[in-house]
Structure 1
Amino acid sequence: MRSYAPTLAILLSIFLSCTYAESIRSIFLFKDVLKSKTAALRTSGFNTLIIFGIGVTEDGSINYYSNTPGSKDIVVAAKGGYVGGDALASKVLSFKKGNDTGVNRIELSMNSAHVKELMAKGAGDDTVLAKNFKALKVAWGLDAVNNDDEKVYDIGSTVAFARMLGKVGYKYTFAPYTNLRFWVSVEKQLNAGLKEPGLLMDRVYLQCYDGGARNNPAEWSRTLGIKVVPLVWVTNDSKPGQGTTVAQARGKFNSWQGSVAGGGYWNDYDIEKMKLSYKQYGDVLTSIFK
């Protein structure tokens, strides 16, 4: 009798390779990365780090806003080249280097200031803005740009900007807390005719705290047609009522499991300021999202 075991094994292997995707375990880096605890971020179970925050100026230069006492805002890309310094570049690159790191993706989170005006002047990959983002991508080993627009919500310029970034090698992601219709419209245009893993807009980090505290990740996933990554805010003294303990985070992520692509936190600065544990918060994600 002919055996079909090898054929079935091969088919199963192909099926798993096509369908398996590592769950997203993310954290936003609010603290100046030069002062962040590199080892903890690398080894606590996070596979995605999102650097907050980046902004563009009227001339297309890119600024890194430190958000940390004792640090200052700096220009990291201008006139088509990287100008952020070797120390900063080395620090960002170090997150994905070494056998002990679990980090495989680094994103920039940026606001929407000046994007509409710059896109009106040109959205080609030969513009100074595009060259600046390409230079920063190379210098920092970046994978994606995250849109944290909470004010402008201009569909045309957002789509043009994302497509420009796609041409120089970035993926594009969202971090919404409201205005679902806007994000649906942008996602449909950016991903029209595309399929995984070739999507341009490939992730949504949904704010489930503060202004987005009532957000339902399953509803956002269903409406967008892409599983979102819910974010909770760790214990903090800025808005204590929006803080989430390790135990509370576990409860929330467990309740959302199945309808989401992973989970994440806002933010590293508060973990360190409040003397919390990266490992404990990371363990919540690794135990729920494989």
Structure 2
Amino acid sequence: MRRPWLFTLLAAVLAISGVVALSSTQAEAQQSPRSAIYGGGPFYQDGQAVMNTLRASGFTTVILWSIHVHGNGDLYYNDILIVQNGRYVGDAGWPARLRTLKQAPTSVNRIEVSIGAWGVRDWETIAALISSGGTGPSSILYRNFQALKAATGADAINNDDESFYQVSPTAAFARMAAGLGYSKFTFAPYTNQSFWVNLKNNLGGAMVDRLYLQGYAGGTGNNPATWRQALGMTVDPGLWSRHGSGCSAGDSPATVESKMRSWRGSAGIVGGFMWLYDDMKACASQGNAAAYARAIRNGTS
């Protein structure tokens, strides 16, 4: 008479344990390390296939690189005109494709639009447009970035300023963008730490929630720990995937995982990013998007 009762009790305990284990796994999935990927032309030109690749990749943030601002306020995605006179004029199918990025099943929960790059004057142009027209609802900056927001559904503006470094106009633009629904304003520095410190202090931590520190090209040798201390926030360092002649330059998924693990130990990082999807596509045999996302996840978890 006792054995059936014991077996019933044991089965109940195991069933409860299974539920607890499932809940724990779900909680870990919800708290998995964040990972971002920058991408250029393929994110616009490769149709639904690239959206599906990103959804299945494991990356949690997709950064559209790069939006360029022309002197008349026109917005280009790289060299393609997409916003003019307050209207989206790009590929009619792109907004709908972007919306699928967050549709389950997917790893993506955030989209950012990046402004700037090496060798361009986007932030200088933004400052000139603010000086001539302001940031109010009638200004060309306001109307065009409102149209961009509607088209992309972006959650944040990513500041890839590599030449201008002026706090006042940049902060004015960031506040305008926040009013348009870009709830966050993120940094992508490689140098000039004092500018980023001053801009962060001006905007506050509620608006600036990510610092994507470049650890490649001009940012090679950057120490996430010193940037974390200077800005008072966790740093998400980034590396350049395999690229170049013979795909021999840059980091493999294995070296990304190793470097991320080292930075987790020295700087307490909880995420990282990869530059650049375009190169991953060209060097797919050296590591695809899923392999790089997994490397970040393994290195920072």
Match of 2:271 among 243, 248, 262: 262
Count of aligned residue pairs for this structure pair: 258
Contact kept in structure 1, 2:59 and 2:290, CA below 8 Å = no
CA displacement 1:1-52 (0-9 Å, x = unmatched) = xxxxxxxxxxxxxxxx9xx965321110123312162222111110001011
The amino acid of 1:120's aligned partner reads: S
**Secondary structure in structure 2 of the residue aligned to 1:185:** helix
Alignment RMSD (CA, Å)? 2.1
Work out the CA distance in 2 between the residues paired with 1:209 and 1:239.
Answer: 19
Match of 2:219 among 212, 231, 241: 212
CA displacement 1:245-271 (0-9 Å, x = unmatched) = 111101100011152231110010111
Q: Does 1:230 align with 2:243?
A: no
Q: Which deviates more, 79-88 or 164-173?
A: 79-88
Contact kept in structure 2, 1:26 and 1:46, CA below 8 Å = yes
Structure 2 unaligned residues grouped into runs of 5+: 1-26, 117-122
C-alpha deviation, 1:87, in angstroms: 1.4
Q: Which deviates more, 78-87 or 234-243?
A: 234-243
C-alpha deviation, 1:278, in angstroms: 1.8
Match of 1:56 among 50, 65, 69: 69
C-alpha deviation, 1:240, in angstroms: 6.7
Partner of 1:174: 187
CA displacement 1:106-136 (0-9 Å, x = unmatched) = 1111112401101212122442211211121
Q: Which deviates more, 170-179 or 74-83?
A: 74-83
Partner of 1:30: 40
Q: Does 1:109 align with 2:114?
A: yes
Match of 1:153 among 150, 165, 168: 165
**Secondary structure in structure 2 of the residue aligned to 1:100:** coil
Contact kept in structure 1, 2:142 and 2:176, CA below 8 Å = yes
Work out the CA distance in 1 between the residues paired with 2:249 and 2:176.
Answer: 36
**Secondary structure in structure 1 of the residue aligned to 2:268:** coil
Work out the CA distance in 1 between the residues paired with 2:180 and 2:260.
Answer: 34
Partner of 2:56: 43
**Secondary structure in structure 2 of the residue aligned to 1:173:** strand
Pairing of 1:66-105 with structure 2 (within 5 A)? 73-97=79-103, 99-105=104-110
CA displacement 1:188-222 (0-9 Å, x = unmatched) = 0011xxx6xxx112211000011111100111011
Contact kept in structure 2, 1:234 and 1:266, CA below 8 Å = yes
* Seq. identity, %: 36
Partner of 2:291: 280
Work out the CA distance in 2 between the residues paired with 1:53 and 1:263.
Answer: 19
Pick closer, same or farther for the CA change 1:92–1:141 going to 2, 3 Å.
same
The amino acid of 2:60's aligned partner reads: N
Structure 1 unaligned residues grouped into runs of 5+: 1-16, 66-72
Q: Does 1:132 align with 2:144?
A: yes
**Secondary structure in structure 2 of the residue aligned to 1:50:** strand
TM-score, normalised to structure 2's length? Answer: 0.80
